[in-house]
């Protein structure tokens, strides 16, 4: 029985002004979705990741990993000093 490889990806969520949420995966260019609730959005992004990986695998391409994503937090002071 093949259990497969466990893949982990960072997911970024944003509250939409009109309600609901959007989500995207920085390591998977173009992998994004939306939902009315956080739970729905989380389920949708999981499905989007799975479909993205299936598509890449079908083309015999390398599956991206998090090693290409750099993360940083930048702080600024507002209002800007002139």
Domain that holds residue 24: 12-62
Q: Is the pLDDT of residue 71 over 90?
A: no
Q: What pLDDT is recorded for position 75?
A: 84
Assigned domain for 51 exists: yes
State the total domains in the chain. Answer: 1
Q: Is the pLDDT of residue 1 over 60?
A: no
Cα–Cα distance, 78 to 48 (Å, whole number): 37
pTM higher than the cut 0.85: no
Average pLDDT value over all residues in the chain: 90
Q: What pLDDT is recorded for position 73?
A: 82
Cα–Cα distance, 22 to 37 (Å, whole number): 10
Cα angle vertex 25, ends 22, 27, to 5°? Answer: 160
- Concatenate the DSSP letters of all residues of 50-65 into one string: HHHHHHHHHTTPPPP-
Over residues 17-41, mean pLDDT: 96
Q: What pLDDT is recorded for position 81?
A: 60
Domain of 35, CATH number, reads: 3.30.160.250
Assigned domain for 1 exists: no
């Amino acid at each position: 029985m093949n259990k497969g490889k466990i893949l982990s990806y960072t997911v970024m969520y944003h509250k939409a002004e009109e309600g609901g949420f959007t989500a995207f995966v920085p390591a998977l260019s173009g992998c994004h979705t939306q939902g009315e609730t956080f739970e729905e959005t989380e389920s949708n992004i999981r499905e989007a990741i799975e479909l993205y990986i299936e598509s890449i695998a079908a083309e015999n391409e390398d599956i991206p990993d998090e090693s290409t994503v750099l993360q940083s937090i930048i702080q600024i002071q507002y209002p800007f000093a002139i």
